[in-house]
Amino acid sequence: MTVLQEFRAFISRGNVIDLAVGIIIGAAFTAIVNSLVNDILMPPLGFLMGGLDFSNYFVALSLEQYTTLEEAKKAGVATINYGLFINAVIKFLIVGFAIFILVKQVNRFRAKEEAKPTPTPPQELLLAEIRDLLKAQTKAGVPAE
């Protein structure tokens, strides 16, 4: 088998296609979570904490003082942006919780599907009937043919 044939077989597997779909949906989900955190959660959280804006928490690695991160970046100063890190951690926790809820629901649906009894195939029913008849004949003293 040539390398191209192996690659084609690999790409056409369902797992690779599922992975690609997962990555695309994950990218779209990331945009939604970013908006949720930046536009919905952080403003009320900042308001509750007295007008706090985590994105402006930074340490300028210079002797001058800057009031905003944007001002420090315009001046070309190196900064440690721990406020942006806090935002990233909050986003991670939200994504992690959302994925936990999603997996929990999927597992709940799978458990319901697995709990359904599977019907006995007709071949097995027929074999069970033959077995029972043979047992009954043996107990009655009728020799098996």
Q: Which residue range is the domain that position 102 belongs to?
A: 10-134
Residue 5 domain-assigned? Answer: no
**Cβ partners under 8 Å of residue 80, min gap 6:** 58, 59, 61
Measured CA to CA, the distance from residue 69 to residue 79 in angstroms comes to 8
As for how many domains the chain has, the answer is 1
Asked whether residue 128 carries a pLDDT value surpassing 60, the answer given is: yes
Please state which of the ranges 3-7, 46-50, 68-72 shows the lowest mean pLDDT: 46-50
What pTM value is reported for the model? 0.52
**How sure is the predictor about 45, in pLDDT bands with cuts at 50, 70 and 90?**
confident
**pLDDT average, residue stretch 63-73:** 89
**Where residue 99 sits, what CATH number does that domain have?**
1.10.1200.120
> Is 140 part of any domain?
no
Has residue 47 been placed in a domain? yes
Kindly state whether residue 41 falls inside one of the protein's structural domains.
yes
Cα separation, 95 vs 92, in Å, equals: 5
Q: What is the mean pLDDT of residues 113-140?
A: 84
- Interval 114-123: pLDDT, tens: 667 778 888 8
In a domain, 73, yes or no: yes
Question: Domain for residue 1, yes or no?
Answer: no
The whole-angstrom separation of Cα 93 and Cα 104 is 16
